[in-house]
Amino acid sequence: MAFDIEMIKEVYDRYPERIAAARKAVGRPLALTEKILYAHLSEGVASQAYDRGVSYVDFKPDRVAMQDATAQMALLQFMQAGKSQVAVPSTVHCDHLIQAEVGAEKDLSQAKDKNREVYDFLSSVSNKYGIGFWKPGAGIIHQVVLENYAFPGGMMIGTDSHTPNAGGLGMVAIGVGGADACDVMAGLPWELKFPKLIGVKLTGKLSGWTSAKDVILKVAGILTVKGGTGAIVEYFGEGANSLSATGKGTICNMGAEIGATTSIFGYDEKSAAYLSGTGRADVAELANGIAEHLTGDPEVYADPAKYFDEVIEINLSELEPHVNGPFTPDLAWPISKFAAAVKENDWPAKLEVGLIGSCTNSSYEDISRAASLAQQAVDKKLIAKSEYTITPGSEQVRYTVDRDGFLDTFGKMGGVVLANACGPCIGQWARHGAEKQEKNSIITSFNRNFAKRADGNPNTHAFVASPEIVTALAIAGDLTFNPLTDTLVNEEGKQVKLDEPAGLELPTKGFAVEDAGYQKPAEDGSSVVVSVSETSDRLQLLESFQPWEGTDLKGLKLLIKAKGKCTTDHISMAGPWLRFRGHLDNISNNMLIGAVNAYNDQTNSVKNQLTGAYGEVPATQRDYKANGIGSIVVGDENYGEGSSREHAAMEPRFLGVRAILVKSFARIHETNLKKQGMLALTFVNPSDYELIQEDDSIDILGLTDFAPGKQLQVVLNHADGSYDTIQVNHTYNEGQIDWFKAGSALNLIKAKS
């Protein structure tokens, strides 16, 4: 569980020289983001000014973190890399495979039994290669990282889209696919397009019902789900300094919902207090020694419009609590306008369930403020009208809030404490009755609320708010209730009003835990055996993808033309499919089953050009593969937004899809496709999407001269004998073109080992 103090010293030792060189190269003051990025340039990369949003740059991250669902494929890939140990500190966290059904103790016990094969694999492979292993029940990856590993000025990649949570402690923490993690663990540099910078200036101070969650809910409403694409969001100002470290973590965590590469706050007194409160006073002492380098230059913050690509300003003193949704996290409603929106849109006003916790909002501060409202419900004789669940973020937080009586308070209100895991947030929730697909409403303090994500019911209207607002609305059982202004009728028939929530940033008695759930790896793992059964339906050793054949791709069948939003949840669903995350063949049976076919407005129903019949997407693609025919997937805007799951790229690659052609990509998914040797292409003219017909046979020309910045041609051969030729763009650089030619990035790693 050690937080690698020597590694942190090494990082800080190079800061003054690296930043001085960067400031000279750039020729101007630097934002915090730029300081960290330039300080983490890979060895051998010249000190020069890089064009934001244009230059691909090699970096050297300080650590890697993986959650159990994505770690399986990442480590299966790493096993092929020919390395005996990971090159950077790395950890695995078992948080995704625990299904919430009845309560923490029983759910955890069932998960350990049900997932024993996977946990044993992850434990043994971690032990063998020098990776720290956090057992099931230890907590959610992002909360555990914040409590144990995140440090100001560091750089981390994680195989989960909400890795930016660590930005709350001033770390550039970026969600990636498992192939990227594999590269870094193998000692290779990590490539990223130098991001643009969005500055968010926070003034004033939060008070009353408003919390840090409301900052990111407001920002999501401003920037939308793709407004942060290709950018890092840097928060600054007096308002930023007033927020707790965990509150900052909440804001950075949910920055994934605006498509941002990551989000970050500078180092300040709140950061130091949290480091000390979580047993890392020596890290705070080191950070104090280079504090000037762990925040942006004063000139940048004095005139942000001059140095950021975009600037947003929010006055925390005027900020209202927000509720975002349904079906998308950027549909933002101030609480004063939310009741009217519910009525005008005919959303179900009756609230069925309120859920708090998750990686986004499970800090001591979050739990204590929500518990203050639960105590009010008990004291004011209010009975919660909705179901209510609590998901602690880590065993340390759970143990501490239990010691301090908060869990008992929730119990008196009727709350159910779930395991320290992702649970309902990712669809690992056995919600009884969801199969009826009835129209209903739930509200969570989670981060993501796409249709069907929580419980598989497309008619579940999921809303996102702070733990305080979720708790208040669960007590009321009514989405039109405004706790700032409205009253409730208690058991005695009296009108009562909820007081403002109150809580503590850190426990006055300090954090405590009996067993944090950490397994230290073996000093020498050479004798550790990692076994994967050939008959397993959950784990499968990987075989290398075939290299490019050296020719243009002709005669590709259109597999599906996806209509509208197509997230990684649509491409590779979670929920019950999580059990197959380590078995590429089996999980490929969920490929694109959630995508809407533009020709019939149905999901998982596409035309098989070989038979003329309509069938399931994976079955149709398997038929093409069996007949040696490649295919292409066409999509809309921001294709692949959402989770970092690389399965959404590996499944089509495994089944024989050769290219994805869309109007625009989400960052992580585009990179994942490139890593797996796929062609990730975008329309030069987005309107060309309309030219593609259901029976098209498609050629991709120009691959024999594949080069950075050079467009490719796509020929759409229609069933009536006519054709259209269109130009398509790509963002491949020389190294990424080598991935394509080799068949995958991993193939190149193996060739160099």
Give the integer Cα–Cα distance in Å for 267 and 295: 6
Q: Which residues contact 569 (CB under 8 A, 6 or more apart)?
A: 450, 452, 453, 594, 642, 643
What is the secondary structure of 7-44 as a DSSP string?
A: HHHHHHHHHHHHHHHHHHHHTS---HHHHHHHHTBPTT
C-alpha closest to that of 396 among 145, 159, 578: 145
C-alpha closest to that of 384 among 370, 400, 397: 370
Q: Which residues sit opposite 416 in a β-bridge?
A: 389
Q: At what angle do helices 364-379 and 467-476 cross, to 10 degrees?
A: 20
Beta strands 631-634 and 553-561 are parallel
Which tokens in the block code for residue 327? 């079906």
Contact between 181 and 157 (Cβ < 8 Å) = yes
* Residue type for position 97: L
- Whether 95 is a known active-site residue: answer yes
Among the options 95, 183, 366, 478, which is catalytic? 95
Among the options 369, 448, 538, 730, which is catalytic? 448
No. of helices (H) and no. of strands (E), the chain: 26, 30
C-alpha closest to that of 593 among 612, 574, 578: 574
Which tokens in the block code for residue 370? 């929500």
Which tokens in the block code for residue 20? 């001085």
- Whether 96 is a known active-site residue: answer yes
* Residue type for position 559: L
Q: Where are the alpha helices (DSSP H) in 83-211?
A: 104-114, 116-129, 141-148, 178-185
What is the secondary structure of 490-542 as a DSSP string?
A: -TTS-EE-PPPP---SS-TT----S---EEPPPS--TT------TT-SSB---
Contact between 427 and 456 (Cβ < 8 Å) = yes
Among the options 570, 645, 653, 730, which is catalytic? 645
Which tokens in the block code for residue 700? 């991709």
Contact between 437 and 155 (Cβ < 8 Å) = no
Which tokens in the block code for residue 80? 């092929």
Q: Which residues sit opposite 225 in a β-bridge?
A: none
Q: What are the phi and psi torsion angles at 313 (to 5°)? A: -125, 130
Give the integer Cα–Cα distance in Å for 300 and 82: 45
Give the integer Cα–Cα distance in Å for 369 and 356: 11
Give the integer Cα–Cα distance in Å for 622 and 331: 38
- Whether 404 is a known active-site residue: answer no
321 upstream amide cis, omega within 30 of 0: no
Q: At what angle do helices 212-223 and 245-253 cross, to 10 degrees?
A: 30
Among the options 68, 160, 478, 636, which is catalytic? 160
Tokens 């397009």, residue located = 193
Q: Which residues contact 216 (CB under 8 A, 6 or more apart)?
A: 250, 251, 253, 254, 255, 257
Give the integer Cα–Cα distance in Å for 2 and 258: 33
In the DSSP assignment, the letter for residue 577 is G
Among the options 358, 362, 643, 697, which is catalytic? 643
* Residue type for position 223: L
Give the integer Cα–Cα distance in Å for 573 and 600: 21
Which tokens in the block code for residue 681? 């292409």
Tokens 């006519």, residue located = 722
Contact between 649 and 669 (Cβ < 8 Å) = yes
Among the options 96, 431, 581, 583, which is catalytic? 96
H/E run at residue 55 = none
Give the integer Cα–Cα distance in Å for 520 and 81: 23
Contact between 139 and 93 (Cβ < 8 Å) = yes
- Whether 448 is a known active-site residue: answer yes
Give the integer Cα–Cα distance in Å for 624 and 629: 5
Which residue numbers are catalytic? Answer: 95-96, 160, 448, 643, 645
